[in-house]
Amino acid sequence: MDRQVHLHIEGVPNPNAIKFVLENGILTDKPYEFTSIKEAEVSPLARKILMLRYVDRVLINRNHITILKTHQQSPEWDKILMELRFIIQDHLKKNEPILFLGSTPLNHRRSDDVIAQMVTDLLNAHIRPAAQEDGGDIVFESYQNGVLNLSMHGACHKCPYVLQTIREGVEPLLTQQIPEIQKVTAIKNEVI
C-alpha cells in the first residue's frame, strides 16, 4: 500500500545543491553520504538518484535529501527538479528501503585527543545544525600542530561560500573557544 509523502524543495547557499525535505516522516536517524553508484549499493534511494548523469553526490539526513549536481554541463535546476522529486516521492510512496543494514553513517573520526573532542562538541552544538539546515554537513577530520581540518559534505561540498563560511563563521568560533587552534581548513574530501 502506498504511503502519503509530502515533500518540499529548498534552495541552499551552494548553487549546485538542492534540498528535498520530507514534511511527514523521518528518513534516517544519522546522515549518510554517497558519491558513487558503487557506494550507494547500501542505499536503493541514493543509487536511483546517482544513476542520473548530472548527480555528483547525495546526502540523506534525518528528514531531507541534499543532491549536488556535477559542475560540467549540468542542466539548470528548473529543468531537473520535477524528475528528482518524482524519483524520491515514488520511492518513498512505495515504502522501498532507504538504507540497508550495515550502512555506515557519516561520523566524526574517533580521536582520544582532548582538543579533537572539544572541536567535536562545538561542531555538534553550534556549527553542524546550521550546515545541516542548509543541506550539508561539516565533520571533524583531523587536528595537528594548531591546524584543524574539517571535511565538507552534502551542499557544503564544493560550495562557493565554503571559504567565507570557514573564515567568518567556523574559524572565529573555534579559535575563540580553543586557543590552540591557529588555522581551520576545509580539506578536499571523500566520504568518510
Domains annotated for the chain, with CATH where assigned, are: 7-93 (3.30.1370.70), 114-187 (3.30.300.130)
- Write down the mean pLDDT value for the chain: 90
CA pair distance 185, 166, nearest whole angstrom? 7
Tens-place pLDDT, residues 129-156: 999 999 999 999 988 888 999 999 999 9
Tens-place pLDDT, residues 31-65: 999 999 999 999 999 999 999 999 999 999 999 99
Question: Can you give the pLDDT at residue 104?
Answer: 82
Cα angle: 14, vertex 15, 16; to 5 degrees: 90
In this prediction, residues 110-130 reach a mean pLDDT of: 84
Handedness of CA 96, 139, 9, 86 (dihedral sign): negative
- Res 113 pLDDT > 80: no
